[in-house]
């Protein structure tokens, strides 16, 4: 059974996305579990560091389980969905201690978003990142998601991932600063433990205030784009993209722009 598993080791909390049969794609329940776990961490001032990692070694998170989209009848449902995702992601953004994404394999869609919300990212050499929504189901991101991903990965790289649907490897992302380190699998656990220990030694108020300052700089004053989101999720293109994706069609859908 899929789920989000939370464990604790001293001052460190470890959050694991456990849905390996679907490459750790997040179900609706898993999104809510992530939100609840993040809120619990934020309420516990004895936690100094949080790690996020996928189960199985093949994927951090391969995206969101989109089966529910097949039942969407209008764009208002898409607006509601993006609000739900923003609430879950906002809880991760608001964690007041240091957060570390540990990425093995795929980190796409929601996986890119969650890794972008973390303070640091450590990846194995085979990790791959992207948000190819314009080549798959034809939906869009909320303003907060665009700000989060663009702020962490850089606007030029975000454009490549979303507007061109590129999947990007670790070398480019290490060079542009998105990845703190690229570590061989056999050394990954030791590297993560060392980072957790160092982060735990930092003055918690320094960490808390710095993170909150950065959060406000990223998200305060975002544009109101819900009418645009409604247009996308209410489109025939979106319905066609979802149907083709669920049918496992290999080709990019024939988008019509409506």
* Number of domains comprising the chain: 1
In a domain, 20, yes or no: yes
Give residue 177's domain range: 3-186
In a domain, 239, yes or no: no
The mean pLDDT of the chain is 97
In a domain, 211, yes or no: no
In a domain, 250, yes or no: no
Q: How many CA atoms lie within 13 A of 205 on its CB side?
A: 0
In a domain, 82, yes or no: yes
State mean pLDDT over 218-240: 97
**pLDDT surpasses 90 at 249:** no
Q: How far is CA 117 from the centre of its chain?
A: 7
50 three-class SS: strand
**CATH label of the domain that carries residue 101:** 3.90.226.10
**pLDDT at position 150:** 98
In a domain, 191, yes or no: no
**pLDDT at position 30:** 97
pLDDT > 90 in the chain, percent? 97
In a domain, 204, yes or no: no
Burial 66-84 (b: 16+ CB within 10 A, else e): beebeebeebebbbebbee
pLDDT in tens, 74-116: 999 999 999 999 999 999 999 999 999 999 999 999 999 999 9
**pLDDT surpasses 90 at 15:** yes
**pLDDT surpasses 90 at 250:** no
- Output the pTM of the full model: 0.96
27 three-class SS: coil
Contact 149, 185 (CB under 8 A): no
Helix (H) or strand (E) holding 138: none
Q: Residue 233 is encoded by which pair of tokens?
A: 């999720």
**pLDDT at position 1:** 79
**pLDDT surpasses 90 at 205:** yes
**pLDDT at position 2:** 87
State mean pLDDT over 115-134: 98
pLDDT in tens, 26-61: 999 999 999 999 999 999 999 999 999 999 999 999
């Amino acid at each position: 059974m899929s789920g989000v598993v939370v464990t604790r080791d001293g001052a460190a909390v470890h959050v694991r996305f456990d849905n390996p049969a679907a490459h750790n794609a997040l179900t609706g329940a898993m999104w809510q579990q992530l939100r609840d776990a993040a809120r619990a961490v934020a309420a516990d001032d004895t936690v100094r560091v949080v790690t996020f990692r996928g189960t199985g070694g093949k994927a951090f998170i391969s995206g969101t389980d989109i089966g529910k989209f097949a039942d969407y009848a209008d764009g208002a449902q898409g607006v509601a969905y993006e609000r739900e995702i923003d609430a879950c992601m906002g809880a991760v953004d608001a964690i007041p201690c240091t957060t570390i994404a540990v990425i093995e394999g795929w980190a796409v869609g929601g996986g890119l978003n969650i890794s972008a919300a973390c303070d640091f990212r450590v990846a194995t050499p085979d990790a791959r990142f992207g948000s190819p929504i314009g080549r798959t189901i034809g939906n869009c991101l909320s303003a907060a998601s665009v700000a989060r991903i663009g702020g962490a990965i850089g606007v030029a790289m975000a454009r490549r991932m979303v507007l061109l649907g590129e999947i990007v490897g670790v070398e480019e992302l290490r060079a542009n600063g998105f990845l703190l380190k690229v570590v061989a699998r056999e050394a990954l656990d030791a590297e993560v433990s060392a980072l957790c220990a160092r982060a735990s030694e930092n003055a918690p108020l320094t960490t808390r205030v710095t993170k909150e300052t950065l959060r406000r700089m990223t998200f305060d004053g975002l544009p109101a784009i819900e009418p645009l989101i409604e247009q996308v999720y209410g489109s025939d293109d979106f319905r066609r993209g979802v149907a083709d994706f669920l049918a496992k069609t290999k080709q990019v859908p024939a988008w019509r722009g409506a």
